[in-house]
Chain A
């Protein structure tokens, strides 16, 4: 077992959750809860994979994934923003719609080998001891994009004027409306952004981290983990990134922990009884449930700093907060 290797693999798998969770942060910050992340991811994974396969161009594949996720999310936008229907129900149906579409359209893609997103070292930085091999060596381009994307997303949400409008729409839509902010338009925009990022997260799996199309097992519930992660991260992209990388490293660490007979001078419990691996594999899912339990208490949610209008449709003139 080698910490460098676990962290390196964790950054790669964590990038999947990172894009999906930050996408959901955008959507929820604008007041729209989108539980369809799993469906959008799967559709993105399928669209990216099949486009890359058909065109031989991985960049077109990534573009297709982003657009596919975005278009699917507009269905959620239409139902919840325009028709003001229940966001929970619509989001769940979106998951089913997305997975169904992806499975039908993805028929026959298993076992194919399209061009993938390239991996490379960052010259100079990769020579730094420990940091270099973990962060800057042999990662996919998408992992490096993730590094840049996190601070940019944070800066956008908390330090720019459009970011302030985004938060206003999710906190107090009626006040934002009064101030001349286009509540409906912005909500549509950020639901779309969230969908695009979920699609990109899907393509991160199918074209980079675990290349291939494996029907529903391509995402295997990671969309749900991303939704839970947003609550843990208190709707903050920096925390979301930290959580994503942590879950990524955990996933790989469980397997590597089975190797050595001794850990920190003690007999390694996983070496003797690998059944404990079940419990560790379960952890991200348990934490997701825990996050939602905490998130479901209004008082706790207030303390966590949830957007005040999250989950509520905005109807001009009818409902204030």
Chain B
């Protein structure tokens, strides 16, 4: 009898744990990590050191499983919400570098972050707790934090909330910030094509995360770059349905390499392609300037959020910043191509490429940094999709709405981002089901 009941308890708990493990992506455990030491400190402090206790005891607070950092009185308080760990070697780490830039370069600010926050309801709880705690500016740095950010922004009109990589904003305290990474993906595509041609191969791989406009846009920009230096090259795609799962990303990269790819580029958050590259093959990493360390890494398309964050924080404090939709190009200085920016040296696998290909990359980059070559030049006709249809006629550019829209998602785009460039061998993801 009791035995039977035990098994039912076991079953329920395991099902629950699996759900958490599957959906949360590591959200349950930080509870043990973060909350426990704080509780202990609170519990033990009065007993062992009564003299110091009053100052330390009530320092921390928590929202569900997450520890909410404290503000510092008298300073301008800025909080960041990360979807992964702050040292993931990719997306979240790039934001954390930006946070440190703000801390070091803006006067009289205090910054803090909450990491490993699950997208959805958990995110809303965390953002609301930060707002209630008294943070003046909150940066929410994952696509899936968008709706949560919107809700909290409407509840706390005095708090400025900036969401990264989404499309919603209001005219007051809720802003949207993203950059045209398609510029750097385009240049990385040129390098990948050049390298592949030099190695007498024609296959290239792309690890895509979710079937959303951003992933098709970045894949297509990369493919258009490949086309510049290697007209015969083709690109294969693997969908991994996650932003941050280092092991799955590595398996995706291995799958592409084993299928013959010479170079693999990623749209997810970790340096997996370079780690997984076998001898003589190459990976292109993403997001963080410091993650292209392996000799098998060709380059990294990275974000330099610091100056943008500093500008927004200053503007928010002075009251000049207004929520809205902001999308920067390479001339902002917030986008980088590792090995090609000031003070950087090329990776060995890039330095030996044909001079004319390198010159093409360097010239295009120089134009981008000068503001003469933008995302609308990357997506300029003639462009043909892999079904043989003409997407854009000669000289015609995509519109902003087209760059980030699927008609299936209700966008009013005219030439929506629902196509694969002619050199991509995969078929389009089915959005209906």
User: Does chain A bind chain B?
Assistant: yes
Where the two chains meet, the residues of A that have a C-beta atom closer than 8 Å to any C-beta of B are: 1-2, 5, 9, 13, 33, 35, 38, 86-88, 92, 95-97, 99-100, 103-104, 108, 110-111, 205, 210-212, 214-218, 220-221, 224, 227-228, 251-252, 255-256, 258-259, 261, 271-275, 277-278, 281-282, 285, 288-289, 292-293, 295-298, 301, 311-312
Contact between B87 and A252, CB atoms less than 8 A apart: no
| Chain A min CB distance to B350 (Å) | 21
Contact between A97 and B87, CB atoms less than 8 A apart: no
Contact between A95 and B17, CB atoms less than 8 A apart: yes
Contact between A258 and B237, CB atoms less than 8 A apart: yes
Contact between B244 and A100, CB atoms less than 8 A apart: no
B18 contacts the other chain (Cβ, under 8 Å)? yes
Contact between B8 and A296, CB atoms less than 8 A apart: yes
Other-chain residue from A97, A218, A251, A271 in contact with B251 (beta carbon distance below 8 A): A251
Contact between B238 and A258, CB atoms less than 8 A apart: yes
Contact between B427 and A271, CB atoms less than 8 A apart: yes
B250 contacts the other chain (Cβ, under 8 Å)? yes
- The 26 listed contacts between A and B (C-beta, < 8 Å) are A9-B258, A96-B32, A100-B33, A103-B32, A104-B37, A108-B87, A110-B89, A111-B89, A111-B291, A210-B246, A212-B275, A220-B245, A224-B14, A258-B239, A259-B255, A272-B427, A272-B430, A274-B211, A277-B239, A278-B241, A282-B22, A289-B18, A292-B11, A292-B15, A296-B11, A298-B7
CA distance A255 to B33 in the complex (A): 33
- Decide if the interface of chain A is mainly helix, strand, loop or mixed: helix
B252 contacts the other chain (Cβ, under 8 Å)? yes
Contact between A296 and B7, CB atoms less than 8 A apart: yes
Contact between B251 and A215, CB atoms less than 8 A apart: no
Which residues of chain B (247-282) have a CB below 8 Å from chain A?
247, 250-252, 254-255, 258-259, 270-271, 275
B-side interface residues, number (CB < 8 Å): 56
CA distance A35 to B15 in the complex (A): 12
B122 contacts the other chain (Cβ, under 8 Å)? no
Other-chain residue from A5, A97, A110, A295 in contact with B88 (beta carbon distance below 8 A): A110
Other-chain residue from B240, B247, B430 in contact with A220 (beta carbon distance below 8 A): B247
CA distance A288 to B6 in the complex (A): 17
Q: Which of B23-31, B177-185, B296-304 contacts A (4 or more CB under 8 A)?
A: B23-31
Q: Which residues of A contact B246 (CB under 8 A)?
A: 210, 212, 214, 217
Q: Which residues of A contact B3 (CB under 8 A)?
A: 298, 311-312
Across the interface, name the chain A residue whose C-beta is closest to B254: A9
B13 contacts the other chain (Cβ, under 8 Å)? yes
Across the interface, name the chain B residue whose C-beta is closest to A218: B247
Contact between A217 and B247, CB atoms less than 8 A apart: yes
Q: Which residues of A contact B238 (CB under 8 A)?
A: 255, 258-259
Contact between A288 and B18, CB atoms less than 8 A apart: yes
CA distance A87 to B238 in the complex (A): 42
| Chain A min CB distance to B280 (Å) | 15
Q: Which residues of A contact B37 (CB under 8 A)?
A: 104
Other-chain residue from A86, A87, A252 in contact with B255 (beta carbon distance below 8 A): A252
| Chain B min CB distance to A244 (Å) | 16
| Chain A min CB distance to B160 (Å) | 30
